[in-house]
Structure 1
Amino acid sequence: MTASWREFWNRDNPIYANDRHRTLHYAGLAREIAALVPHPDAQVLDHGCGEALSADRVARACGRLILCDAAPRVREALARRFAAEPRIAVMAPEELEGLAEASLDLIVANSVAQYLTRAELEASLRLWRRTLKPGGTLILADVIPPDLGPVADARALLAFAGSGGFLGAALLGLARTALSDYRALRQRLGLSQYAQADMLALLRAAGFTAERRPRNLGHNQGRMAFTARVQPPEAARPA
């Protein structure tokens, strides 16, 4: 039996219904992340990037893109896929500790918070706060509120599948997921959930100014996304 979320993501799993689902998912995220890049020379971190199939699109919008994922198998595939892309670097989470202070303009952590304990999230927030430049931005997305369950997630997936042309595969995929160890792992380890006020409090305690975004990244609008900024020194001083 799979012992941890990291182990689950480090092997084949039933999360994506088919290749079309996977391709549309990552293409949409890349489009949204590229639109968040503040300027062409920006230093960007995609923390918890997954397969990042369309990361080259984000790389074209910035000066450097760091792809970080906890699963060694995923990182190896990323390194092979983007070996010829000089703007893309692949790192393990432990390697991020070596990043220089105030060296990043944008950090995107999409579908990450639910797989971390509260203590792990607080440690990540400290790391992200340290590595962001004054004026830099953290986008913390796909945060699960306490009142959102698997049924709502399934409805959001089926709506995405209907518009994306893979509805039949999505129905079969939901059945596979229900019979896989994902369901058992979710019941055993759980997914961390946060109310809006709780997440805003965590972000502000870590030294950010923060607000909820009008839309989540990706297809599931039942989940939440937050913009957290590091204030420049002049903005922090009283008038």
Structure 2
Amino acid sequence: MAGSWREFWNRDSAIYVNDRHRTLHYAGLAEEVAALVPHRRASVLDHGCGEALAAERVAAACARLHLCDGAPRVRAALDARFAGNDRVSVLAPEDLPALADASLDLVVANSLVQYLDAAEFEACLVLWRRKLARDGRLILADIIPPDLSALADARALLAFGHRGGFLAAALAGLARTALSDYRTLRRSLGLSRYGEAEMLARLAAAGFAARRLPRNLGHNQARMAFEARPPA
């Protein structure tokens, strides 16, 4: 049994109920991230990228795509997929400080912050602020509000399953998740949650001008997304 979130993500998990769920999740996310890329010469960091099954779509929209994940198993698969592609680099979190300061036009951290404790999140904010170009943009997405229930997350998954044609698998997957390591870790380690005002205050304290975006990335619109920029 995994004893940390990094160990959990370093092996197969019950988060995706079937291959269709996984494929649709990453395809939709890639389209949304690609739409955020400011120009074709941009350098982009996807921090906490996961399997990034549709990362080719993002790479086609920019000049350089850095895929960063904490799980060695995930990075090995990404390395194999993008071997020989000089527009894509695969990085561990400990590699990020070596990126040139002020070199990134876009940083996306989707479904990452909830797995970081307060000190880890603060360290990431400092790092992102240093690596962003003066006119760069940080997108934090899938932020969990303090009062969001697991039932609301389940309803969002079922709605996604209905739209995507995997509703039966989503129902079965929810039952599996209830018995999985994910539920155990969620109880023991918890997930970091932030209200809108608290997140904006944290971003301001880290030197960003920030706002909440009208919609979250991905299917769960009960969660939040924020845009942060270095001040003009």
User: What TM-score bracket applies, with the shorter chain setting the length?
Assistant: over 0.9
Q: What's the offset of the Cα at 1:83?
A: 1.4
Unaligned runs of 5+ in 1: none
Q: How many residues align?
A: 232
Counterpart of 2:94 in 1: which secondary structure? helix
| Matched-pair contact (CA < 8 Å) for 1:102–1:134 | yes
Question: Does residue 173 of the first structure (1) align with residue 173 of the second (2)?
Answer: yes
| Matched-pair contact (CA < 8 Å) for 1:27–1:54 | yes
Counterpart of 2:90 in 1: which secondary structure? strand
Counterpart of 1:106 in 2: which secondary structure? strand
Which residue in 2 is equivalent to 1:156? Answer: 156
Counterpart of 2:127 in 1: which secondary structure? helix
Q: What's the offset of the Cα at 1:192?
A: 0.3
Per-residue CA shift, 1:128-159, capped at 9, x if unaligned? 00000001000000000001011100000000
| Matched-pair contact (CA < 8 Å) for 1:56–1:85 | no
Q: What's the offset of the Cα at 1:65?
A: 0.2
Which residue in 2 is equivalent to 1:132? Answer: 132
Give, in whole Å, the separation in 1 of the partners of 2:58 and 2:2. 32
Give, in whole Å, the separation in 2 of the partners of 1:181 and 1:93. 24
Give, in whole Å, the separation in 1 of the partners of 2:152 and 2:57. 30
Question: Does residue 208 of the first structure (1) align with residue 208 of the second (2)?
Answer: yes
Letter in 2 for 1:221: Q
Which residue in 2 is equivalent to 1:40? Answer: 40
Give, in whole Å, the separation in 2 of the partners of 1:181 and 1:45. 29
Give, in whole Å, the separation in 2 of the partners of 1:107 and 1:181. 30
Which residue in 2 is equivalent to 1:81? Answer: 81
Counterpart of 1:20 in 2: which secondary structure? helix
Q: What's the offset of the Cα at 1:221?
A: 0.3
Per-residue CA shift, 1:31-50, capped at 9, x if unaligned? 00000000000000000000
Which residue in 2 is equivalent to 1:13? Answer: 13
**4+ runs of 1 displaced by more than 3 Å?**
none
Which residue in 2 is equivalent to 1:98? Answer: 98
Question: Does residue 222 of the first structure (1) align with residue 222 of the second (2)?
Answer: yes
Per-residue CA shift, 1:162-198, capped at 9, x if unaligned? 0000001111111111111111110000000001000
Counterpart of 1:134 in 2: which secondary structure? strand
Which residue in 1 is equivalent to 2:54? Answer: 54
Letter in 1 for 2:80: R
What TM-score, normalized to structure 1? 0.96
Unaligned runs of 5+ in 2: none
What TM-score, normalized to structure 2? 0.99
Counterpart of 1:228 in 2: which secondary structure? strand
| Matched-pair contact (CA < 8 Å) for 1:75–1:91 | yes
Question: Does residue 195 of the first structure (1) align with residue 181 of the second (2)?
Answer: no
Give, in whole Å, the separation in 1 of the partners of 2:70 and 2:162. 31
